[in-house]
A and B are shown apart, each in its own frame.
Chain A
Amino acid sequence: MLHRKKSALKTAGAEALPLAIAIAAYGMSYGVLATQVNFTLLTTVAMSVFVFSGSAQLVAVAMLAGGAGTASVLLTVILLNLRNLLYGAALSEGLAPAKKWTRLLAFGISDEPFVLASARFKKVGPDPFYFAVVAGIFYIAWILAALFGALIGNQLDPQKWGLDLAFPATFAALLVPGLKGKPVIGTALAAVILTLVMEFIKPGNELTIIMIGLLAPLVGLYLHRRGRTHA
């Protein structure tokens, strides 16, 4: 039993570390950006401790920077979080042996742990311990990176160092590598066009992001369906 745990610990560490570096990079960007919307060192790190979600936190601070209110930030994050439902559902069997601890492990569910854990469960069956180690490594990386980012953000003069440009650059770096396949590219293009139209009609509208989060994926679905019937 102990031997199995040891080997799971080793595998989890080896598989999580490269991704932890990537997560730390997002985390640092988040830390810098949060200080740009007047989060203190404490609140910047607190958000990472309590929320622990790259997409939710980055989108929240970017929306605040654009002048959005709390309600529209929350609605957008709820929309963004819908995919966690999928991850949770897909991981539930593999995490089931943890029994009452599954509710604690649930806190670690997000994009990267999902990818690693689902591959692991496919290979060796349920393994909550592996998931706990992976999520734990990511959690530590995420918090330390936010702290580091906030320290940097507090030191630099935003205008001089172009920290305002770190927002769009971060989002470009998040978006571009994932643009593969017609449905995904179609969703992104639809989002771009819809945003331009909606901004043109009513500049600075708070609901734009939520509306586009709801509408643009329909274009992706349409392209997916058309691709299948043609193939």
Chain B
Amino acid sequence: MNLKDYLFEYNTISLQAEANSWQSAVKLGTDLLVEAGTVEPRYYDAIIESTLKLGPYYILAPGMAMPHARPEGGVIRTGYSLVTLKTPVAFGDVDNDPIDILITMAAKDTETQNKSAIVQVVSLLDSEERVQWLKTAKNQEDLKRIFESLTDFE
């Protein structure tokens, strides 16, 4: 299932959410995936552990993060969640902090992660106009309109 369909089908969306640290921002995204049965609760721990060891390797561009861990970190099936933050939080990446859009990604294997899941996430975020819309979306209806207006994004 593609990114857009997944978000709406499993309702893994939280807009204008509040987080007081990068850890709690990551947790908002992984909690949605746990509720949807996409990952085990330990997926959160896997992301935090890797971040502490390697730094925030999943920061994509100013304001945007794609938290994820390896498939063996507790992925049940491939899926995504979208979190936007009312107040951005710092992840410790000087080029790109603070972050207010998080697309948490879980892929069932490395091939799926590299060839499909990452490509879908970055294709959505590779447009300033689209990112601005995402940041201002207040509810699911706003979000639906944004996705419906995207003719070049499947």
Chains A and B bind each other? no
